[in-house]
Amino acid sequence: MMAQVSATQRSDEEIVSLGTRNGMELAILKRTEKSMGRIIAKLDSTDLIDGVRVEPLQIYPDDRGFFTEIARLGRGLASDMVPDSTRKIQISLTLTYPNTIKAIHYHSEQTDLWAPVTGMVQVFLYDLRRHSKTFGLINTIYAGRFRPWEILIPPGVGHGYKALGVEPIQLLYMTDRHYNPADELRLPYNDPNIAYDWETQHK
């Protein structure tokens, strides 16, 4: 993995501030060329954004279909998904039509746990945390039917996805906060300073 340049070593011209929320300084590290960043193909990749975690879903097929366990609250990727005075667990499901892009979202409080359960998605992740050791890093993860991975996305990491293929996709996701419009933060999917490459790669 290439060494990251710390936020304090960046010039002001390279940084687009998004302000401070929940004690976290958020910003964009400007790019001039489109990129997909680091493509994550292994669960233990050293290229993962700090705090992002991935684990495989265990699929148990038989002659009737299959079974998989999404999460056990308090264990694995859901180890911090335990209801208390702050955490209010919500489980949601979304269906997205092919070639649709849903991005860029980010939160200052909420952690997301994603499990694409049908189809395939191209997941975009971007570290907006100015004082993170991976600030400005982009991850691309392909997940779903052909790679049944769950993805844990911490606060301060921008995220979104593109529905791939010819069928609608379904994404089951768990959050450790109930829906709060004040923490549903947005950037354009094609923000020129992030310059993520959503195009199909013709290689």
**Spatial separation of the C-alpha atoms in residues 58 and 115, rounded to whole Å:** 12
Q: Is the pLDDT confidence value at 12 over 80? A: no
Q: Is the pLDDT confidence value at 137 over 80? A: yes
Mean pLDDT computed over 100-120: 97
User: Higher model confidence: residue 71 or residue 9?
Assistant: 71
**Beta 149-153 vs 53-56: how paired, if at all?**
antiparallel
Q: Is the pLDDT confidence value at 116 over 80? A: yes
For residue 60, which amino acid is it? Y
Mean model confidence pLDDT for the chain: 94
Q: Is the pLDDT confidence value at 187 over 50? A: yes
**Spatial separation of the C-alpha atoms in residues 107 and 93, rounded to whole Å:** 18
Mean pLDDT computed over 66-89: 94
Domains of the chain (ranges; CATH) run 7-186 (2.60.120.10)
Residue 13: which pLDDT band, with cuts at 50, 70 and 90? confident
Mean pLDDT computed over 128-144: 98
**Spatial separation of the C-alpha atoms in residues 27 and 183, rounded to whole Å:** 16
Q: Is the pLDDT confidence value at 160 over 70? A: yes
**Residue 13 — φ and ψ, nearest 5°?**
-70, -20
According to the 3-state scheme, what is the secondary structure of the chain?
A: CCCCCCHHHCCHHHEEEEEEECCEEEEEECCCCCECCEECCCCCCCCCCCCCEEEECCEEEECCEEEECCCCCCCHHHCCCCCCCCCCCEEEEEEECCCCEEEEEECCCCCEEEEEEECEEEEEEEECECCCCCCCCEEEEEEECCECEEEEECCCEEEEEEEECCCCEEEEEEECCCCCHHHCEECCCCCCCCCECCCCCCC
CA 61 to mean position of chain CA atoms: 28
